């Protein structure tokens, strides 16, 4: 095991890539000779993660996000236009690529220029940034909104870290667990597992070495709430982690952060420095007998890293491929030690609950709305209230056609179900899920087959490839839907899709494969006539799909 998680294979690879711009074979061989890492492991890891490059990259790499919210905001036309503009330039100078969700859905369309992200990009802005980068100018990440106080912060009128101070004074970890159980605090990363039960299981697990992990790797299209919380309420997230450590008997915490969140990393680094200065982390926290070390682990990229066991594999310096369960992380987590792994929002809720608050839910909303962003609402708020009151209704006054309550994994609901309440039971009853509350709104005029294809393509691109049902199933789904959008569908496709969806649900190792069918299945359920128009009549009612261009 690493004495310090930062002393890690990924950090060695980043150092090499920072020096050379990529990972030369000679440098990887030298790394293997001078370390405990076999060359086969080094190559296996470097080839798996999108953050690493085994060949020299061009001078400028421009990536356009084309997933879900960006797709709704014209990302494909942006990509095609920019690619056309630079078509005559050498591949050694400029590469124009698509990229999976950059976590900026409220600022769609989003682009990345040499790994620096820009929100609300236009063709002219993108062209200018590329030309500036070609000229050697630094192209910095677009700034986040100014930090502000929020109703969810229990410390607006009192010193921060009060819940931790209370715990250290009482020493009663069992009481904390009882309060979390009584509150019903679920996991807000999507699964909804009760937090109190999870912490109790780690507390009761045998062994002196345990871990707390914060999963800050939100990467699914539409999911932006954790980015917001990390920027505006970093102290609640860190306090939640420290409390988890004290309660569960863990002395080490790891905050796993997606590498695109450059601004959030700076915010967290500053808050961590403050915690160290004030004795809130380290040995003998605030003069107590408790010890808790906390560090940030920067992800090398990939949506699959958001799956809890894949995330732990990455921390261990391996390919982020999900593990079979059982055993579960509460007894056999990172480095095979008991691990309490929670989402950003879940951990931020802990101090609120312990200080007598709670019951609020952060939701991200994007797509065809006037005011995309993150809003804090009461659990049980109607979905329509978030769309029409908080987000200001639909862009350009258009009518609502469909909404994905939690990104592609939740599938689509029709406008007739827009009054469903934002809680786990209500969403399940509607045939969807609350998940991470990544609301993506679709207006009339959007083609649901096109949107289903876009969502399934995301899952196909982000599959780790470990299990056949997911690896082959997502590709087959893409092939079928591509045929539907191009006038090549057949009536027998419906049964094939149903059988494929069932096989993926039952046999995939992790949630990616188990939910990858949701966009297609939900569109077949709620927009059957529109799908049949594509498959049987070979026409797109909204004149979006390519077959219309050939008509």
From the list 498, 495, 519, the residue with the least C-alpha distance to 447 is: 519
Per the CB < 8 A criterion, the answer to whether 82 and 62 are in contact is: yes
| Greater model confidence, 433 or 3 | 433
* Confidence band, pLDDT 50/70/90 cuts, at residue 200: very high
| Residue 21 confidence (pLDDT) | 93
- Torsion of Cα atoms, 423 then 424 then 428 then 430, to 10°: 0
Per the CB < 8 A criterion, the answer to whether 135 and 145 are in contact is: no
Integer angstrom CA distances of residue 277 from 145, 180, 377, 519 = 27, 29, 34, 48
**Partner residues linked to 64 by β-bridges:** 98, 111
Please tell me whether residue 37 adopts helix, strand or coil conformation.
coil
Count of C-beta atoms within a 10 Å radius of residue 500: 22
- Torsion of Cα atoms, 381 then 385 then 389 then 393, to 10°: 140
Q: Rounded CA gap, 354 and 166, in Å?
A: 9
From the list 309, 324, 102, the residue with the least C-alpha distance to 213 is: 309
Task: Express as a percent the part of the chain with pLDDT over 90.
Answer: 90
Token pair of 317 as six digits:
């310096």
From the list 292, 294, 41, 50, the residue with the least C-alpha distance to 167 is: 292
Count of C-beta atoms within a 10 Å radius of residue 441: 30
Residues of the chain with CATH 1.20.1440.230: 448-550
Query: Which of these CATH numbers, 3.40.50.720, 3.10.20.600, 1.20.210.10, 3.20.20.140, describes 360-443?
Result: 3.10.20.600
* Confidence band, pLDDT 50/70/90 cuts, at residue 548: low
At residue 70, what are phi and psi to the nearest 5 degrees?
A: -65, -35
Q: What is the DSSP letter of 399?
A: P
Q: Which helix H or strand E contains 330, and what residues bound it?
A: none
Rounded to the nearest 5 degrees, what angle is found at the Cα of 184, between the Cα atoms of 181 and 187? 105
| Residue 138 confidence (pLDDT) | 82
Q: Is the pLDDT of residue 340 over 80?
A: yes
- Torsion of Cα atoms, 434 then 437 then 443 then 449, to 10°: -60
Q: Rounded CA gap, 440 and 402, in Å?
A: 9
| Residue 7 confidence (pLDDT) | 55
Q: Rounded CA gap, 284 and 317, in Å?
A: 30
Residue pLDDT, tens place only, 471-525: 999 999 999 999 999 999 999 999 999 999 999 999 999 999 999 999 999 999 9
* Confidence band, pLDDT 50/70/90 cuts, at residue 191: confident
| Residue 358 confidence (pLDDT) | 81
At the topology level of CATH, where does 448-550 sit? de novo design (two linked rop proteins) (1.20.1440)
From the list 420, 405, 404, 361, the residue with the least C-alpha distance to 184 is: 361
| Residue 144 confidence (pLDDT) | 73
Residues of the chain with CATH 3.10.20.600: 360-443
**Partner residues linked to 340 by β-bridges:** 212
Dihedral angle sign, alpha carbons of residues 300, 302, 308, 313? negative
Count of C-beta atoms within a 10 Å radius of residue 248: 25
Dihedral angle sign, alpha carbons of residues 530, 471, 318, 115? negative
Q: Which residues contact 163 (CB under 8 A, 6 or more apart)?
A: 154, 239, 243, 350, 351, 354, 355
Query: Which of these CATH numbers, 3.30.70.930, 3.40.30.10, 3.40.50.1360, 3.40.309.10, describes 60-134?
Result: 3.40.30.10
Q: What is the mean pLDDT of residues 70-81?
A: 98
Q: What is the pTM of this model?
A: 0.95
Residues of the chain with CATH 3.40.50.11540: 162-354
Token pair of 225 as six digits:
């709430």
Please tell me whether residue 95 adopts helix, strand or coil conformation.
strand
| Residue 3 confidence (pLDDT) | 47
At residue 73, what are phi and psi to the nearest 5 degrees?
A: -105, 25
At the topology level of CATH, where does 162-354 sit? Rossmann fold (3.40.50)
Q: What is the mean pLDDT of residues 390-406?
A: 96
């Amino acid at each position: 095991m690493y004495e310090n998680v930062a002393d890690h294979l990924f950090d060695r690879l980043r150092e090499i890539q920072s020096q050379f711009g990529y990972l030369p074979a000679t440098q990887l061989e030298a790394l293997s000779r001078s370390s405990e890492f076999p060359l086969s492991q080094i190559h296996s890891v470097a080839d798996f993660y999108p953050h690493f490059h085994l060949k020299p990259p061009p001078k400028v790499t421009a990536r356009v996000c084309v997933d879900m919210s960006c797709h709704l905001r014209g990302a494909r036309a942006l990509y095609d236009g920019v690619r056309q503009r630079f078509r005559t330039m050498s591949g050694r100078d400029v590469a124009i690529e698509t990229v999976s969700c950059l976590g900026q859905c409220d600022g769609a369309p989003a682009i990345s220029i040499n790994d620096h992200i820009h929100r609300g990009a236009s063709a002219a802005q993108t062209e200018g940034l590329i030309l500036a980068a070609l000229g050697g100018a630094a192209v910095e990440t677009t700034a986040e909104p100014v930090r502000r106080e929020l109703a969810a912060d229990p410390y607006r009128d009192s010193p921060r870290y009060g819940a931790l101070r209370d715990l250290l004074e009482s020493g009663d970890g069992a009481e904390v667990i009882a309060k979390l159980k009584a509150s019903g605090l679920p996991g807000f990363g999507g699964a909804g597992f009760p937090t109190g039960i999870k912490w109790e299981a780690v507390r009761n697990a045998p062994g002196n070495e345990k871990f707390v992990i914060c999963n800050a790797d939100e990467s699914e299209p539409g999911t932006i709430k954790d980015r917001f919380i990390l920027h505006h309420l970093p102290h609640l997230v860190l306090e939640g982690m420290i409390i988890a450590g004290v309660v569960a008997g863990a002395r080490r915490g790891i905050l796993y952060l997606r590498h695109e969140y450059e601004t959030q990393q700076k915010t967290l680094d500053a808050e961590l420095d403050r915690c160290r200065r004030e004795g809130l982390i380290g040995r003998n926290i605030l003069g107590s007998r408790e010890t808790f070390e906390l560090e940030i682990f920067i992800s090398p990229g990939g949506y699959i890293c958001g799956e809890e066991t894949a995330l732990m594999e990455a921390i261990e310096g391996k390919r982020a491929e999900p593990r079979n369960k059982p055993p579960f992380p509460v007894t056999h987590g990172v480095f095979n030690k008991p691990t309490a792994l929670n989402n950003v929002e879940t951990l931020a809720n802990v101090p609120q609950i312990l200080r007598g608050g709670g019951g609020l839910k952060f939701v991200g909303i994007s797509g065809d709305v006037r005011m995309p962003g993150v809003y804090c609402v009461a659990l049980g708020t109607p979905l329509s209230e978030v769309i029409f009151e908080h987000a200001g209704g639909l862009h350009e006054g258009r009518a609502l056609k469909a909404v994905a309550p939690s990104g592609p994994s939740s599938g689509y609901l029709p406008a007739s179900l827009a009054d469903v309440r934002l809680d786990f039971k209500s969403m399940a009853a509607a045939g969807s899920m609350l998940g991470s509350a990544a609301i993506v709104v679709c207006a009339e005029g959007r083609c649901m087959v096109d949107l289903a294809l876009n969502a399934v393509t995301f899952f196909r691109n982000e599959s780790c490839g470990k299990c056949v049902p997911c690896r082959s199933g997502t590709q087959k789904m893409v092939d079928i839907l591509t045929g539907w959008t191009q006038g090549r569908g057949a009536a027998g496709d419906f049964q094939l899709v149903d059988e494929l969806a069932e096989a993926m649900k039952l046999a995939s190792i992790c949630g990616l494969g188990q939910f990858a069918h949701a966009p297609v299945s939900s569109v077949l359920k709620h927009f059957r006539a529109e799908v049949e128009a594509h498959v049987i009549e070979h026409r797109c009612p909204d004149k979006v799909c390519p077959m219309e261009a050939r008509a």
